[in-house]
Homo-oligomer: A and B are copies of this chain.
Amino acid sequence: MSEKKIFLMGLGSVGRNLLSLLVNENFHNAVGKKFVLVGAADSRNIIFDEKGFSPELVLESKTNKALDSAGTVLKKLPGADEVDIFVDMSTASKDGKRELSIYSDYLKSGKSVITSNKSPLANFWPEIMKLAEEGKGSILYESTVCGGLPLFNMVKSALPEMEISSFRGIVNLTANYILENMRRGGTKEEAINNAIKEGFAETDYFDDVSGLDSARKTVIVANSLFGTQLRLKDQKFEGIESGTEFHKGTRKMLISSIKKTQDGVLAQSRIEDVNESDKFYSLKAKAMAYEIKPILRAPIFVSEDYDGPLETSIGVLSDLISLLN
């Protein structure tokens, strides 16, 4: 089998972590010979070389803020003939339109897209899935929800063809870290500053605090696991209000909750009161977690105490390995 040509868009913290993983010995031994990294793009430059770059060189150039020094600079993204797997790790755009247009070119030609970018899937799920189906390429998106906590690939491998009756999860770390800081006595502003100091509030934390990020993820989980065709524009959601009141023995959490009802699938992204008898109550302030209930079997609870760009990049990596193997 010939090597797959991989192109990376987005070299922020997730993209740079992925580059580091690509040179990790275990991974290199397992699939290093199955791909060639033909190019990469950050917000300013696009580099391309059909013979391939070493991930080290791209990482080094990016770290030195001189991505364009690594190779030939293109004015636009390479065409579908030049790429087999397009990996999007860029920041979510407001409406997802630009990403849709990019994915469309690759998917139409039967190429595959891996994305950690929520916006295109939350806004244009029906279009993107149709493009992937018609072109017979793949669209993989493990790391769009719950950062690096295994979700979609876990369901695919462990609960194949299982009907899901409900999902409940902390899918956005930052909002819940801020809420927990507020419960411990901080104001909303102090809590946001704490999250920025800790390094995991996204530069533009508005999407986290407003609840938009959690809403995007809610739409993606509903569409992926419950077969809906929801769009972000129709999804109601709540965000964090200043002066939120907390009650003793209760936490407040921004929770994504999706369930099958007699009237169809109900998808919500809301601030919930969580009391001591709730599995979510004892989660750490920086945790991600979800409980998924298949119709046939016992619910499965999955959590981690913290999550970051490295974990998210491992989610991207697991998608990449599944396409290479």
Q: Which residues of A contact B (CB under 8 A)?
A: 21, 24, 26-27, 29-31, 142, 148-150, 153-154, 156-163, 279, 282, 296-308, 310-311, 314-315, 317-318, 321-322
Also in contact, A153 and B157, with CB within 8 A (given A296-B310, A304-B301): yes
A294 to chain B, nearest CB (A): 8
**A156 surroundings in chain B (CB, below 8 A):** 157
**A163 surroundings in chain B (CB, below 8 A):** 26
- A154-B158, A297-B310 are known; give 18 further A-B pairs, CB within 8 A: A26-B162, A27-B160, A27-B161, A148-B297, A150-B154, A150-B158, A157-B157, A157-B318, A158-B315, A160-B318, A160-B322, A279-B282, A296-B314, A297-B314, A298-B304, A300-B302, A301-B301, A302-B302
**A299 surroundings in chain B (CB, below 8 A):** 304-305
Q: Say whether A157 contacts B160, CB under 8 Å.
A: no
A163 to chain B, nearest CB (A): 6
Complex Cα gap A154–B314 (Å): 14
Q: Say whether B305 contacts A30, CB under 8 Å.
A: no
User: Which single residue of chain B is at the shortest CB-CB distance from A29?
Assistant: B161
**A158 surroundings in chain B (CB, below 8 A):** 142, 150, 153-154, 315, 318
A166 to chain B, nearest CB (A): 14
Also in contact, A161 and B321, with CB within 8 A (given A148-B297, A150-B154): yes
What are 27 A-B residue pairs whose CB atoms fall within 8 Å in the complex? A26-B161, A26-B162, A26-B163, A29-B161, A30-B161, A31-B161, A149-B300, A150-B154, A150-B157, A150-B158, A150-B300, A153-B158, A154-B154, A156-B157, A157-B157, A158-B315, A159-B318, A160-B317, A160-B318, A161-B321, A279-B282, A282-B282, A298-B305, A298-B306, A298-B308, A299-B304, A300-B303
The listed residue (B161, B298, B304, B322) touching A157 by CB distance below 8 A is: B322
